[in-house]
Structure 1
Amino acid sequence: MNSLFLSLKRLGTTALIVLASFGLQGCAEASAVKNTKTVKAAVPPAKPVVQPPKGTLVIIGGGLRADNAEVWQRIVQLSGGKGARIAVFGAASINPEKSANSTIAKLNQYGADAFFVPIGVMYSGSDYRKAAEDPVLVEMIRNSAGIYFAGGDQARITQALVRADGTHSALLDAIWDTYRRGGVLAGSSAGAAIMSTTMFYDAKPVLDMLKMGVTDGREIAPGLGFIGNDVFVDQHLLVRGRFARMIPVMLKKGYHIGLGIDENSAMVVNSDREVEIIGYSGALLIDLSSAITDRGVKGFNISNAAISYLDRGDKFNLVTRAFTPAPDKADGKLDPNQPDMREPVFTNDILGNNAVLDLMGNLIDNAQQEAIGIAFGNPRDPYPDLGFEFRFSKTLNSVGYTSSEAEAYSVLKLRLDIRPIQLQQPLYRYK
């Protein structure tokens, strides 16, 4: 009994020693934890804020006449005025130097000090790949206040300035740097097409694109994207009825806003993304924000698109979507209760020269609430029995302005619906 008690006593002492030892160790660890500073997980550095370009775009619809002083003078003025150094690219042309020299003469006529940039896929005696990386040319661009892309084939511009792997050449980076720091980028026709992230490439006729659609790498290809990734740009618009080809591209690539500028006219887009129309004619603004398509309908179709015509002197902000009429239209807002016309509005060639503009102007100041245009092709064209109806209608948001100086309208937010129609074959018979 005594020996058992002694054993238990020894065991208890041992247990107490172990527990005491564990307790001291635990206290030490607790003390260590208490005295240890908490180290927070590393926070990744914030992504740098990309500032919008400080420069200005002058997007010209092609066919810019030498006597269009308003456009030429604006380019020179924005580039710094008399003596402004403006780099001219003729890369889109089959004869780059000749094309550039023609533009240089006009710019210099209005006070610039313009010069030729010797690069082009078709520029003989030069390797455009080496020229695009030439530090001398890069420095010339960086020292320029303005850059002008002449017309031709826009694919030649992108081929000359974008490397085969899709990255920017040194020359293209210099162009972007000039634009970001406040320089002017102007382009006419092909030079306008490159302004959006998507451009027409080897485009079919307008009606054929509605009939057969558009394909990446064929009808469309990447542009240079100076205007941003949210606006699609087209040119030669009213004269060639190209507004209709913009819509399938915008749907395919996800653009909500499209701007199409007419010939001998320009859109000036400043750093606040305000668009001002200058020159001879105007631009069409297409808004697909609320548009829908019906997959149950065989063939291209769209409903609830919005189409507007911005006339010379008008302004439209791409950020706020605010419209400011030209000074000669400031007091010319149309009263829908006092229309000037009452007869039905119809055209059987909506893709014809200025047909869409005439129809929109005739509708906005009319007692009629809608107008119809149709488009169809040659009986020998593909799918000769396939045509399209373009239905324009006024909504509560539709607004018109008329000029106090000329017979001219600005038209905002007409609804546009397009649907396929079947034509009778033959289309007509002799009596």
Structure 2
Amino acid sequence: MICVPLLALCMQISNAAEAPPQGNLLIAGGAVRPDNTIIWERLVQLAGGKGARIAVMPSAAGNPERSGTNLVNTLNKFGATAFAVPVAVKLKNSDYQRAAEDETLARSIREAGGVYFAGGDQGLITKALVRPDGSRTAVLQAIWDVYNKGGVIGGSSAGAAIMSSTMYYEARTVLGTLAAGVNDGRELAPGLGFVGTDVFVDQHLLARGRFARMLPAMLKKNYKLGLGIDENTAMVINAKREVEIIGYQGALLLDLTKATTNGDIKEFNLTNARISYLDRGDRYNLATGQYMPSADKVDGKLDPAKPFLNEQVYTADILAHNMVLVMMEKLINNTSNEAIGIATAPPGEAREDLGFEFKLSRDASSVGYESATTDAYTILNVRMDVRPLKITRPWYR
């Protein structure tokens, strides 16, 4: 094992419990396909198995009735007894504030084995479930009761964003976020905090290059650890803080424990951050830092003295789909110890003159594992440094 504003939204949401929650979290990165058997079956299993009651929360959806119905049908197909909870800002002919305090609804949730949050706009979830003073509505407290007693809380996309105590709210583009920074009550707002106060969660990670936008948010709110989950993929976090990756791809783990910034440089910069890629089937303990490889990687630890590649690793668009993972995979099994990725703003951004260099470095603490059955890697503890670049646009523009 390897150790490696809306005034109400700006208020800190209380997530204190008398004892640590005994349940599980299933956090999906968005775009979970209805045929992704492993994710849906695991959700049902964690809720109690075949016939388990699962409350579907369509609060984030643009069309809550349709979203709730579709999710209920999907979960029932995999053996659940699911039901939609009609608490949503955009639900027609409904008073979401009154519904969120309905004790009958709260009781039906409390008697369930799991709760699942649909995707959409995470701000609509907190608006529907959190009182103006920042306290929990009856429905939100019932959801916490499910988690505290051992049930599962799941969510995809927006339903993943609300898992940490801070979430992105009105976010700019990734480049815009790096260029302009983040502020409470605008780009950032309180989440529901199921994962605790020490881990930042983001979604659509590899598909949208969002690993980069996690960095300013983590620095702003003093998070040392961040987990970014990719699309059609989920991470299960149990009461022992063990993370297991399931689904299509994987998750990025960002560690800023030893990272520093240079205050003399106005633009965003970062030195000695650590980035790891956890592949499907891998496990990682957030409390101890212990990594457990998937079964197909147990004997696949790479020998740094026998690299397979001998090439320069460079990209002019590190924020492109999956690109940071492609770079990490090439770097971990290469004679070269460095990889360079550039990020520049598209036309129309406020700071077209500002770009960023991401330097990935393999050192003695970096470790790679290769699957024996598929073309897949786990990459642990790669160093990442970020510095701003002055971008000169063509003279003929």
TM-score, length basis structure 1: 0.87
* Residue matched to 2:272: 304
Q: Which structure has the greater CA radius of gyration?
A: 1
More helix, by proportion: 1
Aligned counterparts of 1:133 and 1:67: Cα–Cα separation in 2 = 35
**5+ unaligned residues in a row in structure 2: which ranges?**
1-15
| Cα separation, partners in 2 of 1:132 and 1:238, compared to 1, 3 Å | same
| Paired amino acid for 1:419 | R
Pick aligned residue for 1:259 from 227, 250, 267: 227
Instruction: Tell me whether 1:391 sits opposite 2:359 in the alignment.
Output: yes
Match for residue 197 of structure 1?
165
Match of 1:238 among 191, 194, 206: 206
1:376 is matched with which residue? 344
Aligned position for 1:113: 81
Aligned positions, number? 382
Equivalent position amino acid for 1:251 in 2: L
Identity of paired residues, percent? 57
2:22 corresponds to which residue? 54
Higher relative contact order (CA 8 A, sep 6+): 2
Structure 2 counterparts to residues 17-166 of structure 1, below 5 A: 50-166=18-134
- Picking from 304, 310, 315, the partner of 1:336 is 304
Could you tell me how far apart the structure 2 residues matched to 1:265 and 1:49 are? 29
**1:355-391, CA deviations, whole angstroms, 9 ceiling, x for partnerless residues?**
0000000000001001000000124321211100000
Q: CA deviation at 1:67?
A: 1.1
Deviations 1:180-219 (A, max 9, x none): 0000100000000000000010100000000010111111
Which residue number in structure 1 is paired with residue 245 of structure 2? 277
SS of alignment partner, residue 266 of structure 2: coil
The SS at the match of 1:163 is coil
In the TM superposition, 1:314-329 aligns within 5 A as 314-329=282-297
Output the CA distance in 2 between the equivalents of 1:379 and 1:239.
Answer: 21
Q: What is the SS of the residue equivalent to 1:210? A: helix
Name 1:28's counterpart in structure 2. Answer: none
In structure 2, the CA distance between the partners of 1:380 and 1:135, relative to structure 1 (3 Å rule), is: closer
**DSSP-derived class of the 1:411 partner:** strand
Structure 2 Cα separation of the partners of residues 228 and 268 of structure 1: 14
Q: Which amino acid aligns with 1:157?
A: I
DSSP-derived class of the 2:72 partner = helix
How far apart are the structure 2 equivalents of 1:234 and 1:271?
A: 20
Q: Please give the root-mean-square deviation of Cα atoms over the aligned residues, in Å.
A: 1.3
| Distance in 1 separating the partners of 2:236 and 2:372 | 23
State the alpha-carbon separation in 1 of the partners of residues 337 and 281 from structure 2.
27
Q: Distance in 1 between matches of 2:84 and 2:141?
A: 18
Note if 1:414 corresponds to 2:369: no
1:226 aligns with 2:194: yes
Q: Secondary structure at the match of 1:65?
A: coil
Specify every segment of 5 or more residues in structure 1 that has no aligned partner in the other structure, as ranges: 1-47
TM-score (normalizing by structure 2): 0.95
Q: In 2, Cα distance between the equivalents of 1:78 and 1:103?
A: 17
Distance 1:321 1:91 in 2: 34
Structure 2 counterpart of 1:347:
315
Aligned match of 1:424: 392
Q: Distance in 1 between matches of 2:375 and 2:97?
A: 50
Amino acid aligned to 1:400:
G
The one-letter amino acid of 1:355's match is M
Which AA in structure 1 matches 2:256?
L
CA deviation after TM superposition for structure 1 residue 429, in Å: 6.8
